[in-house]
Each structure stands twice: as C-alpha cells, then as structure tokens.
Structure 1
Amino acid sequence: MASTACFVIVSKNGIPIYEAEVGSALKKEDLAHQHQFILHAALDVVQDLTWTTNAIFCIFRFLRSVDRFSDFVVSVYVTAGHTRFLLLHDSRSNDGIKSFFQEVHELYMKIFLNPLYLPGSRIASSHFDTKVRTLARKYL
C-alpha cells in the first residue's frame, strides 16, 4: 500500500461528495489540508484534459497522472456523468490504481442507483467507506 494516499470523489458540479485518507502514513491535520489543496488544484487540469482526450465515447476515462507536487502524483478517473475520482498517492502502480478506480466506480454506481440517494449529495454510507478502504489496501 502507498504510504500516503488521499481519495476524493468530486461531482460534476465540482462539489466533493466523498473524501478518505487511505494511506498507511500517520494522519496529521496539516497534511490532510495540504492533500485537499493539491487535489483541488488538480481539478483545473482535469477539466482541460477531460475535453481534449480522444476517448469521447468511452464510459470512463482513466487519465493516469495528471499533476505532480513534490513526491505526490494525482491520478484521475472520470465517469461518463463527469464525476471525477481523484487519488493523491506516492506509488507507481498504474495497473493497481486503474483496478482501484474501476472497482470504486462499481461501488459508486450502486450508491448512485439507490432511489434514496440524491445525486450530488455527500456519500455518508459507512459500508461504502469500508469497501473503499478495503480496495485501497488491496490495490494501492
């Protein structure tokens, strides 16, 4: 597992709907704010790349590493509905990261298809959080 990893799901309106520190490093308040800042700054790059990639008709777009800050890399996965999954990490396993994104996308679709879920609202499910953290341990 990566020693540092922060995972965020951002709605198509730019609102974070899920956040998790999934790394094995000690969680410090200052680092959490720094991670959020780095991921927020990467959203502009993601917006530009989303419209310039040739994968217009794909169900999803795995944009790999779109931004770097110090030893951190931001990898992004964009769904067909323009929901963005951002992962801030310090590892190099692109296959593991892609598998992580794909399985989290499946979990997200189960939440999204729930008739009681309001699209664009925060995901507060403890089951979803547990599954995401399990997938992070498995793939990152």
Structure 2
Amino acid sequence: MSYYFAIIGTQDNPLFEYEFGTSKQGGDGQPRFAEQARHLNQFVLHSSLDIVEEVQWTNGQLYLKVIDKFFTNYISCFMTAGNVKFLLLHQPTATAGGGGGGAAAASTRNSTSVGANPTSPQTEEAIKNFFNEVYENYVKAIMSPFYKVNMEIRSPVFRQRVTAAGRKYL
C-alpha cells in the first residue's frame, strides 16, 4: 500500500508532506503511486478539505476515519483541537483490490493485512494509531519557541519520527 501524508494548517496551507509505502509483511517502505498520478496526490487531499469541514461538525471525534474516496485512493483524517488537519491518502495494493485474476495468488495473509482493505477495522485501528503517534510528535514540534502558527515544519527529527510511525503501524 502507498501512503501520502500531509498536515494542513488552519489557513488550508500545507505544513508538512511525506510520501511512503507499507513496511508490513515484507514491504520495502517505498511508495507505489503511478508516476502519471503522483502529482495529483496533493490536489486530491486538498479537494477533501470541504468534506472534512462538513464531517467535523457532525462527528465529535478527532479521528474522522475514511472521509473520502477518489478512484482507488482513500483519504483518512485526524483533526487537532487547534483545527489543524492530518490527512492520509492511502492506496491499496493491486493484489489487495480483489480485481485481478490472481485471486489464488493473493493468499489469506494478504486479505488480513493492513493494506488489503482500507475500510477494515484493523486498517482503521492502524491508521488511528499512526495519527495518534504523529500527533504526539506534532505537539512536541510546535512547542518549540521558534515555531509560529501555520509555519511549515522542517524538522528532520519530526520527519524521522513520522517515518518511524509509518513503519511501526502501516
């Protein structure tokens, strides 16, 4: 499964972006987005911001789960109390989509993996744990006296911690 993670500020400006692949069950951590569609990831996430604003007022939770779907991409959202949005675009692997002729090749191991079904309870829990860990690190990063509201996060330590959370949960 491929992931594109972005933190969107209160003025709908990107504060942090990171693209990675799954590290579970033999994954190498490299994103597998199609080259011709890779540049659309940012646009797809930003187009889901209207849906985020609708859902945030009907759902009292910080973790909004899967809020949008664009072709084979799913968008999950986590809201902070300060109205900063964590958006994760995740694209299931081709074998996990269930559409190929290699159904026998896709064993039951794939059907229970995090990347097999983007809306399964296991996947939702893994994404929620990823968001929670990134949120803890985000709070630590913005508590720096040098950070200003809606400023881009450039910390290499924060990027490493997001990478570690991605490897750990996704």
Matched, 1:65 2:66: yes
Question: Any unmatched runs of 5+ in structure 1?
Answer: none
How far did residue 52 of structure 1 move? 2.0
SS in structure 1 of the partner of residue 62 of structure 2? strand
How far did residue 25 of structure 1 move? 2.7
Report if the CA contact (8 A) 2:2-2:33 is conserved.
no
SS in structure 2 of the partner of residue 50 of structure 1? helix
Q: Distance in 1 between matches of 2:125 and 2:132?
A: 11
Matched, 1:107 2:137: yes
Aligned pair partner of 1:46 in 46, 52, 55: 52
How far did residue 18 of structure 1 move? 0.2
Q: Which has the higher Rg, Structure 1 or Structure 2?
A: 2
Q: Distance in 1 between matches of 2:136 and 2:74?
A: 23
The aligned amino acid for 2:19 is E
Divergent runs of 4+, >6 A: none
How far did residue 116 of structure 1 move? 0.9
TM-score, scaled relative to structure 1? 0.88
1:70-109 aligned within 5 A: 70-90=71-91, 91=115, 92=118, 93-109=123-139
Q: In the TM superposition, what whole-angstrom CA distance separates every residue of 1:1-24 from its partner, at most 9, and x where no partner exists?
A: xx2100000011111100010222
Using CA pairs under 8 Å that are at least 6 residues apart, name the structure with larger relative contact order, 1 or 2: 1
How far did residue 28 of structure 1 move? 6.2
Q: Distance in 1 between matches of 2:80 and 2:135?
A: 8
**Sequence identity of aligned pairs in percent?**
36
Q: Distance in 1 between matches of 2:19 and 2:140?
A: 22
SS in structure 2 of the partner of residue 21 of structure 1? strand
TM-score, scaled relative to structure 2? 0.73
Q: CA RMSD in A?
A: 1.5
Q: Kindly tell me the number of residue pairs found equivalent between the two proteins.
A: 133
